[in-house]
C-alpha cells in the first residue's frame, strides 16, 4: 500500500499502463479495490457515459455487490430518468462532494436502495476527454468523510488516467469493428466471415452449416450509367434489405463488389437453405429508387452446405461460389444448390478455358465428318463437319464441352473461322481428286458468328480461295437465332444466298419459329432435331411432330434431313412418311477426314431396311 498520494497516482498509472480492451475491466476493478483500501471508503465505482443513448454505463465497481439482480438496474442508467446524482454525471466537469445532512437523502436512496444505512458521504470525479465528460469515478463512505483538496487533486489525476485508458479501449474496439466490418454497408467483411465459419465448422459444432452466396446480376450497368455513388447507394439498400429479411440471428457479410454471403446461425439442410435463398431473392428484387428512377436488379444465389469437423471454411465457400457461378451461367436470377458435379464441371471449365486460348495456333483442332445419306439408295449426299479438339491431357473432346466456353470468352468467332476455312479446304481437296463432286459440306455456325460484321465476306472468301462452286457449301444455323433477331438474320441470309451459300436450320422443332417467318427467309433445308427422331417408331407423339415438319417442308419447298437416326424403326418410319435424307449412328458415326474421303470415293453406304 503506497504511503503518499503521489505514490497512489503512480501505482494506478503503472497498473493501467498495460490494460487492453480485453483486460481493462479487471484492471480497473483492481485499481478501485486499491483506492477503496487507501482512502478508507466503503464503495468505489467507475462508469462511462454513452452520449449516443444518453446513459451512464457501469464499467467496474468495488466491492462487487453480492447477488447482483439480472437485469442489473445499475448497469445502464439513462440520464433522463436518473436520480440527480447520476443525471449530474452527464456533463460534470469538476469533482463534487456530498456530505451527510440535510441534502443527502436523494443520492442515499439511489445508492442504497432498500437498504437501511446511516448517512452517507460521496465524492464524484468526472472523467474528461477534452470537452466531453466521458464518465465518472465515484467513492461512497457510509457515514461522513471529508475530502481534502490534495485528495481531490489526486483523484482528478487518477480520473484522467482512467479517461485515457477508456479512450484507448474505445479506439481499439473501433479498430476491431472496422477490421471486421465493411465500411460501405456496415455488414461483416470477408475476414469476419472467415473467422465465423472457422468457429462454426470446428469439430463438434452443430451442422450442417449452410452458406448462401449472393451475386447481383449486372450491377456494373448501374455503375457505368448512373455513377459509383448510385451503385454504392444501391448496394447499401440491398444490404439493409438482407439485414431486415434474414430472420433469426444470421451472419451477413459483404465480400466486396456486389457479392454477399449469408450464414444462418441455426443448422439447416439443403432444402431449408434453398427456401431461405428463394425468399431473400424475392426481397432483393423489389425496386430501389435512385435519382428519381426505379431500378431493379436480379440476384443469383449459390447455396452450399458444410459439415463441422469435415469441411473447411474454404471448402464451403468454394462450393457456394461454384453454385453461384452455375446460377449465373444459366442466365442469372436463379438459386443453385451445390452438387458434386459442379466442382468437376467447374474444374473442367477452367482447364478448358486455359487451353482454349491457344487452341487455334497450337494445331490441336481437327474435323470429323458425319455422312448424310439418301436412305432409299444409300448415296452420300452431304457431310456435316463436326469440330474436335485433341486436348493435351483429356483426349479427343467433342464440341459440347468447349463451344460454350469458347463463346463465353469471345473465341467463337476465331474458332468458327478455323472450322469454315478448314472444312472448305478439305472438301476442295477431295473434290480435286474427283471425290464428292455431287455432295455438299455442311458447316455449323454459332449464333455469335452469324451476327459478326463481315461474316458473309468471310464465307465468300473461304469458298473462293478453295474454288468451291455455288451450292456446295451449306451453313447450319439454329432456330433460336433465327427467331431472336429476325431482321439482322434476314440481311445476313440474303447476303449468303446471293453468294450461293446454302442455309439449313439446325435442330428444327426445338425453337418455335413462326411459320410466317420461316416462309420469308431464304432457307434451303430443315434438319429435324434428333430428340424427335430417336424414339420414332415407338413414340406416337414424336411421329405426329415429325409428320407436321414433313408437311411444312413440302409446303415451303424445303429440303428435309432427319438427324440422329439410330434404329431401323426410325429409318423405316421416316421413309414411309416421305423423309429420305438422314444422318445418324445407324448409318454412320462421325468419321475422320481420311475415311470420309474414302467413303465419298465409294459414293454410298449399304442400306437394307
10 Å CB burial of residue 376 (0-12, 13-18, 19+) is exposed
Picking from 124, 78, 80, 79, the residue whose alpha carbon sits closest to that of residue 99 is: 124
The dihedral sign for the CA sequence 192, 196, 202, 208: negative
Quote the least distance from Cβ 479 to ligand C2E, whole Å. Answer: 12
Which listed option, Ca ion, ligand C2E, none, makes contact with residue 387 (CB within 5 to 8 Å by class)?
ligand C2E
Q: Could you tell me the smallest distance in angstroms from the CB atom of residue 493 to Ca ion?
A: 17
Which partner, Ca ion, ligand C2E, none, binds residue 520 by CB below 5 to 8 Å per kind?
none
Residue 356 burial by CB count (10 A; 0-12/13-18/19+): exposed, middle or buried?
buried
Binding residues vs ligand C2E (CB under 6 A): 370, 386-387, 398-400, 403, 416, 419, 444-446, 476, 506-507, 530, 563-566, 583-585, 590
Name which of 47 and 368 has its Cβ closer to ligand C2E: 368
CB-nearer residue toward Ca ion: 476 or 542: 476
Among ligand C2E, Ca ion, none, the one that 509 touches (CB under a kind-dependent 5 to 8 A) is none
Q: Least CB distance from residue 443 to Ca ion, whole Å?
A: 9
Q: What is the dihedral of CA 551, 557, 561, 562, to 10 degrees?
A: -10
The residue at minimum Cβ distance from ligand C2E is: 584
Query: 374 has which bridge partners?
Result: 379, 581
Q: Which three cell numbers stand for residue 243?
A: 439485414
Instruction: Find the shortest distance in angstroms from Cβ 398 to Ca ion.
Output: 13
* CB nearer ligand C2E, residue 304 or residue 562: 562
Q: Which is nearer to ligand C2E, 207 or 564 (CB)?
A: 564
Nearer to ligand C2E, 134 or 422 (CB): 422
CA distances to 98, 108, 110, 120, 436 from 104, rounded to whole Å, are 7, 6, 10, 7, 117
Q: Return the one option of ligand C2E, Ca ion, none that residue 151 interacts with (CB less than 5 to 8 A, by type).
A: none
Residue 210 touches which of Ca ion, ligand C2E, none (CB < 5 to 8 A by kind)? Answer: none
- CB-side neighbour CA atoms (13 Å) of 578: 11
Give the shortest CB-584-to-Ca ion separation in angstroms.
11
From the list ligand C2E, Ca ion, none, which binds 419 (C-beta under 5 to 8 Å, kind-based)?
ligand C2E
Applying CB under 5 A, which residues contact Ca ion? 444, 476, 506-507, 563
We find the least distance from the C-beta atom of residue 378 to Ca ion, in angstroms, to be 21
The smaller minimum CB distance to ligand C2E, of residues 152 and 545, is found at 545
300/404 Cα distance (integer angstroms): 20
Could you list the beta-strand ranges (E) of 511-592. 525-528, 559-562, 581-582, 591-592
Residue 197 backbone dihedrals phi, psi, to 5 degrees: -65, -35
Task: For the CB of residue 444, give the shortest distance to ligand C2E in the complex, in Å.
Answer: 4
Kindly list the distances between the CA atom of residue 135 and the CA atoms of 76, 86, 97, in Å, as whole numbers in the listed order: 12, 11, 16
The neighbouring-strand residues paired with 571 are: none
Closer residue to Ca ion, CB minimum distance, 14 or 512: 512
For 42, the grid coordinates are 466503503
Amino acid at each position: 500500500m503506497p504511503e503518499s498520494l503521489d505514490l497512489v497516482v503512480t501505482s494506478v498509472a503503472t497498473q493501467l499502463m498495460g490494460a487492453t480492451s480485453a483486460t481493462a475491466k479487471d484492471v480497473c476493478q483492481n485499481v478501485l479495490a486499491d483506492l477503496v483500501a487507501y482512502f478508507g471508503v466503503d464503495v468505489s465505482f467507475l462508469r462511462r457515459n454513452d452520449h449516443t443513448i444518453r446513459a451512464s454505463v457501469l464499467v467496474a465497481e468495488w466491492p462487487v455487490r453480492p447477488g447482483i439482480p439480472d437485469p442489473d438496474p445499475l448497469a445502464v442508467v439513462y440520464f433522463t430518468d436518473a436520480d440527480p446524482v447520476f443525471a449530474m454525471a452527464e456533463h460534470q466537469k469538476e469533482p463534487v462532494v456530498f456530505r451527510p445532512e440535510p441534502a443527502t437523502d436523494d443520492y442515499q436512496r439511489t445508492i442504497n436502495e432498500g437498504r437501511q444505512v446511516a448517512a452517507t458521504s460521496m465524492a464524484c470525479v468526472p472523467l474528461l476527454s477534452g470537452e466531453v465528460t466521458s464518465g465518472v469515478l465515484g467513492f461512497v463512505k457510509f457515514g461522513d468523510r471529508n475530502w481534502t483538496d490534495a485528495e481531490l487533486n489526486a483523484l482528478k489525476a487518477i480520473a484522467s488516467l482512467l479517461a485515457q485508458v477508456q479512450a484507448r479501449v474505445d479506439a481499439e474496439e473501433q479498430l476491431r469493428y472496422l477490421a471486421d466490418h465493411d465500411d460501405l454497408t456496415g455488414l461483416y467483411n470477408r475476414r469476419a466471415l472467415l473467422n465465423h465459419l472457422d468457429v462454426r465448422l470446428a469439430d463438434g459444432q452443430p451442422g450442417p452449416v449452410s452458406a448462401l452466396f449472393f451475386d447481383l446480376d449486372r450491377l456494373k450497368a448501374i455503375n457505368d450509367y448512373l455513377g459509383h455513388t448510385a451503385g454504392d447507394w444501391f448496394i447499401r439498400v440491398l444490404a439493409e434489405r438482407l439485414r431486415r429479411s434474414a430472420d433469426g440471428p444470421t451472419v451477413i457479410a459483404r465480400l466486396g463488389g456486389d457479392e454477399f454471403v449469408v450464414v444462418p446461425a441455426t443448422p439447416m439442410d439443403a432444402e431449408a437453405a434453398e427456401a431461405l435463398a428463394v425468399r431473400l431473392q424475392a426481397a432483393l428484387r423489389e425496386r430501389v429508387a435512385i435519382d428519381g428512377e426505379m431500378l431493379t436488379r436480379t440476384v443469383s444465389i449459390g447455396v452450399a452446405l458444410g459439415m463441422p469437423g469435415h469441411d473447411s471454411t474454404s471448402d464451403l465457400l468454394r462450393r457456394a461460389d461454384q453454385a453461384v457461378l452455375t446460377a449465373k451461367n444459366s442466365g442469372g436470377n436463379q438459386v443453385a444448390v451445390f452438387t458434386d458435379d459442379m466442382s468437376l464441371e467447374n474444374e473442367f471449365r477452367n482447364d478448358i478455358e486455359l487451353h482454349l486460348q491457344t487452341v487455334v495456333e497450337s494445331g490441336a483442332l481437327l474435323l470429323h465428318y458425319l455422312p448424310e445419306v439418301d436412305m432409299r439408295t444409300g448415296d452420300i449426299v452431304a457431310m456435316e463437319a463436326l469440330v474436335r479438339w485433341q486436348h493435351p491431357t483429356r483426349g479427343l473432346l467433342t464440341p459440347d464441352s468447349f463451344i460454350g466456353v469458347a463463346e463465353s470468352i469471345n473465341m467463337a468467332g476465331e474458332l468458327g473461322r478455323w472450322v469454315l476455312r478448314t472444312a472448305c479446304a478439305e472438301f476442295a481437296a477431295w473434290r480435286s481428286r474427283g471425290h464428292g463432286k455431287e455432295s455438299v459440306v455442311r458447316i455449323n455456325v454459332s449464333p455469335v458468328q452469324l451476327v459478326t460484321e463481315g461474316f458473309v465476306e468471310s464465307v465468300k472468301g473461304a469458298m473462293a480461295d478453295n474454288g468451291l462452286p455455288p451450292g456446295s457449301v451449306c451453313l447450319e444455323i439454329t432456330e433460336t437465332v433465327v427467331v431472336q433477331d429476325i431482321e439482322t438474320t434476314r440481311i445476313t441470309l440474303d447476303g449468303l444466298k446471293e453468294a450461293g451459300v446454302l442455309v439449313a436450320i439446325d435442330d428444327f422443332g426445338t425453337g418455335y419459329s413462326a411459320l410466317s417467318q420461316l416462309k420469308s427467309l431464304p432457307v434451303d433445308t430443315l434438319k429435324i432435331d434428333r430428340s424427335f427422331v430417336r424414339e420414332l417408331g415407338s413414340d406416337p407423339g414424336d411421329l405426329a411432330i415429325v409428320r407436321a415438319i414433313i408437311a411444312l417442308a413440302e409446303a415451303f419447298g424445303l429440303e428435309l434431313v432427319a438427324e440422329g437416326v439410330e434404329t431401323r424403326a426410325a429409318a423405316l418410319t421416316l421413309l414411309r412418311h416421305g423423309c429420305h435424307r438422314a444422318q445418324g449412328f445407324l448409318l454412320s458415326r462421325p468419321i475422320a477426314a481420311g475415311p470420309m474421303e474414302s467413303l465419298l470415293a465409294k459414293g454410298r453406304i449399304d442400306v437394307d431396311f
